[in-house]
Amino acid sequence: MANSELANFLLSKVDQLPAVASLANLWTSDGKVAPDVMDRISVAVQSDPALASQVMTAGGGASVQSAVMALGLKTVESLMVAKAAEDTATSINPETLQLMQGNLWRHSKIVGFCCQLLAKEVGYPNTNDAFVAGLFHDIGKAVLNRYAFEEINAVLRVTSAKAKALFTAEDEAFGFNHSYIGAKIVARWNLPDQIREAVEFHHTPEKATVDVQITEIVHLGNVLVNWIQMKLGLKSNFYPLRPYILDKFNIPTERLRQIAEEANEIVQSTAK
Ligand SMILES: [Fe+2]
Ligand SMILES: [Fe+2]
């Protein structure tokens, strides 16, 4: 498939994702978390008992985070398992796909909490937005894994053989990367623009214009989580950190590691 065809094919799949209107309702039209957000969450979950129990149990009580996670998980789950009838790609391996999506969702949750903790650390006021942007930063990978299984596995082989960043290998192979697809998903869900931008530019934070700080938080949060998850150096080729970011945040490395470890522990302790 030519690159532009692959992009169009994936964007058509994004258009078919459920719109999750109740997720967008958690923000007001000017992109601020709604003052009555808890009321809106209870309305959103009333019609769905499974969702209600997830919202109550994740993290020990209803919260914006657990509601967003439960709603996001629905999409990830819908992308998790290949349905034979609608899959023309015969090479798709259901177990591998499920494993990839499971790992992706775990990584995403840790990055969400890491971004929230980083936001607190630097006094960024919208800690919920930082959480949501972190949680969805790699959501484009869920679509690539599900609908371009063969292509993404070929790219993953290049990534490890040549010690390249995944997004660089995706750019070279496809002409776009998972952050482009991710931003389209977040836009489809009508999430605020600063969250869409943080997802779109989480590997290239210098491109942010709407809210530079949240994009930088997600960029750093992602690198920190990869650092502790993969046991690679902080300056690994696989997850390149923009060189100016550490100076800008000016937080000691030891403290950064603590923040990432804390995020990891939050997720491990709430894992079912
Ligand atoms: Fe990414
Ligand atoms: Fe990531």
pLDDT tens for the chain, 272 residues long, are 778 899 999 999 999 887 666 778 888 888 888 888 888 877 777 767 777 766 665 444 557 788 788 877 777 777 877 665 565 556 788 888 889 999 999 999 999 999 999 999 999 999 999 999 999 999 999 999 999 999 999 999 998 888 888 999 999 999 999 999 999 999 998 899 999 999 999 999 999 999 999 999 999 999 999 999 887 778 777 788 998 999 999 999 999 999 999 999 999 997 65
pLDDT for the residue numbered 232: 74
Distance from the alpha carbon of residue 192 to the mean position of ligand 1, in angstroms = 19
Give the number of whichever ligand sits closest to the CA of residue 107: 2
Distance from the alpha carbon of residue 214 to the mean position of ligand 1, in angstroms = 15
Distance from the alpha carbon of residue 178 to the mean position of ligand 1, in angstroms = 7
Residues with CB under 5 Å of ion ligand 2 are: 138, 222
Give the number of whichever ligand sits closest to the CA of residue 204: 1
Mean pLDDT for all residues in the chain: 87
Distance from the alpha carbon of residue 49 to the mean position of ligand 1, in angstroms = 32
Please give the domain boundaries of the chain with CATH numbers for all domains: 3-270 (1.10.3210.10)
Give the number of whichever ligand sits closest to the CA of residue 178: 1
DSSP string, the chain: --HHHHHHHHHHHHHHS---HHHHTTB-TTSSBPTTHHHHHHHHHHT-HHHHHHHHHTTTS--HHHHHHHHHHHHHHHHHS--GGG---TT--HHHHHHHHHHHHHHHHHHHHHHHHHHHHHT-S-HHHHHHHHHHTTHHHHHHHHHSHHHHHHHHHHHHHHT--HHHHHHHHHSS-HHHHHHHHHHHTT--HHHHHHHHTSS-GGG--S-HHHHHHHHHHHHHHHHHHHT--TT-SSSPPPHHHHHHH---HHHHHHHHHHHHHHHHHH--
* Predicted TM-score of the model (pTM): 0.91
